[in-house]
Chains A and B, each alone.
Chain A
Amino acid sequence: MSAQTTTQARQVPPTSVRGAAMRGVVARPGQEAIEAKGWLRAHKWLLLRRLSQLGILALFLVGPWFGWWVVKGNLASSLTLGVLPLTDPFVLAQQLAAGHWPYREALLGGGIVLAFYLLLGGRLFCAWVCPVNLVTDAAAWLRRRLGLKGGKVPSGSTRYWLLGFVLVIAAVTGSLAWEWVNPVSMVHRGLIFGFGLAWGIVGAVFLYDLLIAPRGWCGHLCPQGAFYGLIGRSALLRVSAARRSACNDCMDCFAVCPEPQVIRPALKGAGQDHPLILDGDCTTCGRCIDVCGKDVFRISTRFDRSES
């Protein structure tokens, strides 16, 4: 390490996001955890998450593929077993902005989904349901493996501006304008009803995350993620850095976290005294729990401020 980088590293705390970036991208985070806990436990939450993502997708697909109609429709709006309506509150918000008052089913379905994420954690959707997460996770993984660094990352608040734009555009055009291009709904709909040129949009998101902006789509641009982040502000389910005293600053959690800025306040007590990650941007993906060799993190509730 040259003398200059050493001075820089002293000024920027090594446990900040920038500090982590300056130490270089960790190519294979979680090695220590695999050695300490075994491969399976070091991938527990990742595997559960993939199971959830693919399982939900499978529920939608067994109908058109095998004729077993468990769930009809797609994430925008669906009907489960002919009785349970579920509607995406984000699409519902656009619809209301565009000036259309939907039927009771859509409102009820939207209410159920809204209540679920309000209670448990808004961005659970991003980590556990959204099919684009598979695409951006793949891009992030490849980016680490190839050792690609830098890039032009837009500000994390861009997504909130974009969310505002989406609603304004809906109101101005009187249509669900964002849904013409929304990669999230398009990927899910494409898998179930047919893609057309939508592969291009998936490819664009992948390449954007891989080559231009690390975690660019989900972490900085996606207005749907921003929407769910907002409704999850006071959600129950939270990640806690309960054993933060055991942290050995290996930085693996920062390397895998899709929203690394949320970790520092909890892990290093920057601006708060409790070990809870309360930032609405946290997707509760649990990957930090997996890759930590010291078992610092655990899933808990927002009322559990204990440390152990």
Chain B
Amino acid sequence: MALAAGLYSKQASALPATALRPPGALAEGDFLAACVRCGLCVRDCPYDTLKLAELGDGVASGTPYFEARKIPCEMCEDIPCVVACPTGALDRALTDIGDARMGLAVLIDQENCLNFLGLRCDVCYRVCPVIDKAITLERIHNPRSDRHAMLLPTVHSDYCTGCGKCEKSCVLPGESAIKVLPIRLAQGSKAEHYRRGWEEKEAAGQSLIGDQVELPVRGLEDKAYGDTRVRPGEGPQPGDAVPARPAGSGLDSGWKP
């Protein structure tokens, strides 16, 4: 029986991707050693965000979690759930809710996100409690209309607390286009073997491989090195013959977002 319980706990310790732990929660393995399933955090949550998992929920039975699309974390400044925890499963070292990392928002569906369609929805950006830091709008050219901009909601892991307000307020009727995922799922691991030249250069105060040889670029002789902007009247004109391209070339499949 106890062995079965052990196996069961092993199997069930994988948290479903939509289940988020309260702010300050220890890493999942340590959390399952520390949480006694008393529900005091649930009681002190003023927004009924947290609930205790019931047997069959897919989360370790009795442990607290929340689902961002249902009720997100309101990021109380006094973090009452952490204060209420008697065991340290929610770590009191967390005193600034901005340091919480409950998960990480990911704009997961770029095909249905209205901003990616060129519209100005912006709701996830507007509701973000860490607006302009955790989510920014990045302006890029809209290749479909060719004359508008797209403002793409972009999440930054340095600031995102995983509160889930963006996922909750996404205007899509069913599933949200932006979702808070456990950080383990949301982030790739860093390519440590890849040296970022620009970071190395900044750290060293100079380029590690000496100055670059700047060769003149035909047609851009009067511009600063690297400036490839085309002014009106420059470059190919309408009516110019378009060079033939083999059909089905992978370089430009003609896809438009």
Contact = CB atoms under 8 A, between A and B. Distances in A.
Contact of A169 (B5, B30, B32, B34): B5
Give the secondary structure class of A's interface: helix
A72 B61 contact: no
A186 B43 contact: no
A189 B42 CA distance: 12
Nearest to B8: A180
B33 A98 contact: yes
B124 interface: no
A109 B86 contact: yes
Interface in B1-30: 1-6, 8-10, 12-13, 29-30
B38 to A, nearest CB: 4
* Interface footprint category on A: 35 or more
A101 B85 CA distance: 13
Listed residue (B30, B33, B56) with the most chain A CB atoms within 10 angstroms of its CB = B33
A193 to B, nearest CB: 4
Interface in B100-151: none
Listed residue (A99, A173, A192) with the most chain B CB atoms within 10 angstroms of its CB = A173
Contact of A177 (B6, B40, B42, B92): B6
A91 B61 contact: no
B62 A103 contact: no
A162 B1 contact: yes
A283 interface: no
Listed residue (A85, A165, A196) with the most chain B CB atoms within 10 angstroms of its CB = A196
B156 interface: no
Contact of B38 (A73, A103, A223): A73
B2 A162 contact: yes
B55 A177 contact: no
A175 B29 contact: yes
Nearest to B34: A100
B51 to A, nearest CB: 8
Given A98-B33, A100-B87, A175-B32, A193 B55 contact: no
B117 to A, nearest CB: 40
Contacts of A165: 1-3
11 contacts: A72-B39, A73-B38, A78-B38, A85-B86, A100-B33, A173-B9, A174-B32, A176-B35, A193-B51, A197-B54, A201-B55
